[in-house]
Amino acid sequence: MTRIKICGMRRVDDILYVNKYRPDYAGFILSEGFKRTIGFDSFCELNSRLDKDIKRVGVFVNEPTESILKYYADKLDIIQLHGEENAEYIGKLRENCGCEIWKAVRAKCADDIAKADALPVHKLLIDSFSAGSYGGTGKRVDLDIFSQVNISKPFFLAGGLNEENVCEAIERIRPYGVDFSSSVETDGWKDENKIKRIVETIRK
């Protein structure tokens, strides 16, 4: 079954929604300076309310490894890297924490995916490329590039997926999982009905 990740948890309401509709993963933006960023104290409160069967994903962008290891590594199931982190950086994380490590790639072409696939990570998250943004834009990935690359790792598909197009995308490229953020929001905030419909659409 295709796994489901809802990213950008910011409020207690968001946690209540995912606890109710039970995606496989809940994501928290933990690097500063982004629309859905939350601070450490807020993360700890939301994390404590999240159902234990839903895996916790911390999203980091070019964050010092020391910060991740000091504050978050023992509270997360997955560390998702969304910046320019290289093999050396990833290796240091792997040596010092027990989390799964995912690498997000903002794919302009098949070669971008191939380079990320060569990194020492457990899974990939393949997102659309948008200049000046590290994700969460709602821009759709070009699915044609998947026919041009052999991906050895399990991967999540992100970027512009919604209730209308997600089933087609799953049928075409068979990802391990799918990731949603802006498409399950209304006026910039998570929408319970949209989360409900997207989970039901995928799992029916």
Q: Which residues have a catalytic role annotated? A: 7, 127
- Where would I find the H helices in the chain? 12-21, 40-49, 65-71, 87-96, 110-117, 166-173, 192-203
- Residue 27 pairs in a beta bridge with 7, 57
**Residue length of the chain:** 204
The dihedrals phi and psi of 55, each to the nearest 5 degrees, come to -75, 140
3-state secondary structure of 156: strand
Residues in CB range of 67: below 8 A, 6 or more apart: none
